[in-house]
Structure 1
Amino acid sequence: MVDQMKGLKPELRKAMKAKRDALSAAERDQRSVAACGRLAQLLESTGVSAVFVYIQLRSELDTSPLIEWCWSNGVATAVPCCESDGRTMALYWIRSWDGLMPGAYGIREPNPAAATPCGNTFVPGAVIVPGLAFDRTGGRLGYGAGYYDRYYDALQAAVAAEGGAMPPWIGLGYEAQLVEQVPTDGHDAYMDAIVTEQAIYRSGRRSGTTWSL
């Protein structure tokens, strides 16, 4: 069954990337602003003081409105940088767009000369995750590199060492990226909620989070 599910992923990745790319730049901008506004309201209502958020690549939902909201509202903002091992991410604090520079895969990444490392023990109040597809039960289809799945495992270990609870993981995407069921296997990290320009979908996938969504 696991092998069957894995076999479905490449075709779904191709189809969902094409679907996302088909949105016009104006549509993506409009939907990004709406989704980020919805997520900002959620973060504000729960009092989160620090978030880990991705930097948009190509046709992904643009997180710039959310990041600028965080800066304006005193929410510390951490973004990822792909490590040279090609398997892990390091997190850095950014306080302005000057803290970024072109990085791996064409993604803007923290500039070590202008951004501060968060350190291995940093536990964000929420993790904002990109993807190609999501479902309403928390399934996520990533790009296949496994960065977020490995970060999930590392964060779980850091939280366990401190005797705490995992922060919520929130998938951020367009409504058009929702599917009936994402093919997943035992290594995939699940989302506690999916936020789109139209709604917040609470999956109820995990219990024991530090935050009641």
Structure 2
Amino acid sequence: MEYNQQQGDYTTKQQLRTLLKQRRRAVATHHWEVASSKACSLAIPIIDQIRCQLDHPLTVLAYMPFASELDTRPLLTDLRNKGDHVYIPLTHREDVSMTWHEWHDHTSMKQGAFGILEPSNVAPLQAESWGKIDVILVPGVAFDRQGGRLGMGAGYYDRFWSQLCEVSSLEAITTVELGDEHLKKQCSRPVRISLLYNWQLIEAVPMESHDMRVDVLVHEDEIVYTTGQMD
């Protein structure tokens, strides 16, 4: 699907979003289970690398899977078992914002406005602590090898990323080196990682300057260290 910058991107984005959402809804349960397990297994060593280099328990922003999205829960459970702090979002539709709440054994969950499980009884991570965030697991509909990401359309993650960059602008930038002897990538924290089906990786996602980009893509067949510039 071609993208014409001069014509604007809303129609193109919406068509692409609709097409891939339909495909995701059609995923068979067995494929969902297998792809989720493989993607989580590939993502675990990446986050282990980050933890080893930063040498402290990680603060990770994550999310509960919705419908046929890849199941992130095996990965989140592994992180908690290793001592990391995992936060999941509570969405606020009145101002299209998110607050982040720690997910642990005593977290009560409720069904949110979009049908996604959300926390209901845990105090949020305060903005003054956002500088401690090490990893963000970012959901999406489509991705490309340059780090482009197409979200669900409401812009929650793009808005949060903009707020996070403002709050963290005075923080010292810490980088980690990911990959192996064949390919290495320098990523600034928080490192943005997305889990996806292999067919969600497309040639080019239409992007705007304010859109949140991703550092690492993980699907059932491959780990992709994106080629876009750190921001």
State TM-score, norm by structure 1.
0.90
Distance 2:59 2:98 in 1: 17
2:31 — aligned with what?
27
The unaligned stretches of length 5 or more in structure 2 are 52-56, 175-188
Aligned match of 2:19: 15
The answer to whether structure 1 residue 118 and structure 2 residue 125 are counterparts is yes
* Change in 2 beyond 3 A, CA 1:27/1:74: same
SS in structure 1 at match of 2:8: helix
How far is 1:84 from its partner? Answer: 4.7
- Provide the C-alpha distance between the structure 2 equivalents of 1:53 and 1:9, rounded to a whole number of angstroms: 24
Contact 1:67 1:77 in 2 (8 A): yes
Indicate whether 1:5 and 2:12 are aligned: no
Q: State yes or no: 1:168 paired with 2:175.
A: no
Cα gap change, 1:84 to 1:17, in 2 (>3 Å) = closer
The one-letter amino acid of 2:154's match is A
Contact 2:90 2:100 in 1 (8 A): yes
1:140-162: CA deviations, max 9, x gaps? Answer: 11111000000110110121133
Give the equivalent residue in structure 2 for 1:211. Answer: none
Structure 1 stretches lacking a partner, 5+ long:
209-213
**Residue deviations 1:77-129 (CA, integer Å, cap 9, x gap):** 011111252411000111137432211211100112xx232111223111101
* Correspondence 1:98-137 to 2 at 5 A: 98-112=107-121, 115-121=122-128, 122-123=130-131, 124-137=133-146
Cα separation, 2, equivalents of 1:86 and 1:26: 38
Match of 1:138 in 2: 147
Query: Aligned partner of 2:48: which letter?
Result: E
Aligned-residue offset at 1:65: 0.7
How big is the shift at 1:5?
2.8
RMSD over aligned CA atoms reads 1.8
| In 2: Cα distance, 1:86 partner to 1:203 partner | 31
Residue 163 of structure 2 is matched in structure 1 by 154
Mapped partners of 1:107, 1:51: distance in 2: 19
Match of 1:90 in 2: 99
User: 1:39 aligned to 2:62?
Assistant: no
* SS at 2:127 equivalent: coil
Distance in 1, matches of 2:76 and 2:95, equals 26
Report the secondary structure of 1:55's partner residue. Answer: coil
Secondary structure in 2 matching 1:153 = helix
Q: Quick check: 1:2–1:185 contact (8 Å CA) kept in 2?
A: no
Deviation at residue 163 of structure 1 after TM alignment: 3.8
Q: How far 1:2 moved relative to its partner?
A: 5.5
- Partner AA of 1:119 in structure 2: Q
CA offsets per residue over residues 21-55 of structure 1, 9 Å max, x none? Answer: 22101211111111111111110122161210111
Identity %: 31
Q: Which residue of 2 aligns with 1:52?
A: 61
Q: Retained in 2: the 8 A contact 1:6–1:185?
A: no
Which range moved further: 86-95 or 198-207?
A: 198-207
Residue equivalent to 2:178: none
Q: Tell me by how many angstroms 1:186 deviates.
A: 1.9
Whether 1:198 aligns to 2:218 is: no
How many residue pairs were aligned?
Answer: 206
